[in-house]
Homo-oligomer: A and B are copies of this chain.
Amino acid sequence: MAGSTLGTIFKITTWGESHGKGIGVVVDGCPAGLSLEEKDIQCFLDRRKPGQSKFTTMRNEGDQVEILSGVFEGKTTGTPISMIVWNTDQRSKDYGNIMEVYRPGHADYTFDEKYGFRDYRGGGRSSGRETIGRVAAGAIAACFLRSLGITVTAYTRSVGPYEVKEERFDLKERDQNRLYMPDKETSLLAEQYLEEMMGRKDSVGGVVECIIDGVPAGIGDPVFDKYDASLAKAVMSIGAVKGFEIGDGFLASRALGSENNDGFCMEPDGRAKKVTNHAGGILGGISDGSRVVFRAAFKPTPSIAQPQKTVTRQGEETEIEIKGRHDPIIVPRAVVVVEAMAALTTVDLLLANLSARMDRIISFYREETE
């Protein structure tokens, strides 16, 4: 089935394989009149680019985005925005040994089972490079949100067992930090740990946390298209994500109702506000005006240079050691991917919410015809 499209109103369709000609995305449903330049996209892509530090793969791709349509004289036109990033550094010979052997933790086996064969050069459509399209589209979504005063900020919350301490949390630290961690002290311990594991030819997982500030109350739908459910799907669709939590998440399952419920009080501006935010900004699937907070658990990079037991396409047991350039941890480069998925989901639901109330629709059209 056609599973490369996300969204109902703000709809993105990604395409491209890690070792094909390029990677791209078409964004359909972006409103007309949003200011947009290639550099708005590029700054997002630069955050997921390889080769940024010793903890990211040394593939040296420029990953320069090109906007092919949908933008005219610096503004979106309301028609589809097509973007492409050419693949320039494939070195497909590096990957020759995986043609016949299934890499543990990868989708090689499942692609063969589903499609009968696969593009064996790199991960094909399951490669991390597939996220380029998501990030390029997410950058547009982020521009959209900024114009409504909404910001999406993700960061590394933990690397293996090393987790950010609340008391040292400093968001400014994030952007100078090689691990995108808003806690310098923890990040130094995490770096040591990472180097040790790299020395053992092993890899490490971690958790990304994301906060969305400024979402007005009322976003999301009460049944299947709940805001948190939609975030869950978007975030779980990132390769390597194994868990998702909104607000207190799994901890809420151990709390009491009297602890977990967020009471309401009145703000000086006359708005109701939750006193606490165990819910993570969403009640009954609909945003409540508080900060939205969620987390995603990433597994360790599956590509490791240790020998691993596996089998060949022909059904022989064998061992594999995965050579080549691979991140020892996915998390730092995935931070911007999480932001992208959160932004895309939020924009789609903001647009859906335009049709929630008859009174507003009537005043929208009355204004237009005046």
Contacts and interface: CB of A to CB of B under 8 A. Distances in A.
A62 interface: no
A115 B33 contact: yes
A250 B236 CA distance: 12
Contacts of A311: 264-266, 272
Given A32-B356, A72-B119, 18 more contacts: A3-B226, A3-B352, A5-B28, A14-B223, A15-B82, A16-B68, A26-B26, A33-B357, A77-B125, A110-B286, A116-B359, A126-B222, A160-B254, A202-B257, A232-B233, A244-B244, A261-B308, A360-B368
A111 B223 CA distance: 12
B288 A109 contact: yes
Interface size class of A (residues with CB under 8 A): 35 or more
Q: Is the interface of A mostly helix, strand, loop or mixed?
A: mixed
Count copies of this chain in the complex: 4
Interface string A1-33: 111111111110111110011111010110111
A161 B254 contact: yes
Nearest to A150: B365
Given A4-B80, A24-B68, A115-B356, A279 B109 contact: no
- Of A20, A23, A248, A261, chain B has the most CB atoms within 10 Å of the CB of A261
B7 A28 contact: no
A338 to B, nearest CB: 13
A183 interface: no
Contacts of A298: 252-253
Interface in A63-80: 66, 68-70, 72, 75-80
A147 B362 contact: yes
B3 A224 contact: yes
Interface in A228-255: 228-230, 232-234, 236-237, 239, 242-250, 252-255
A206 B105 contact: no
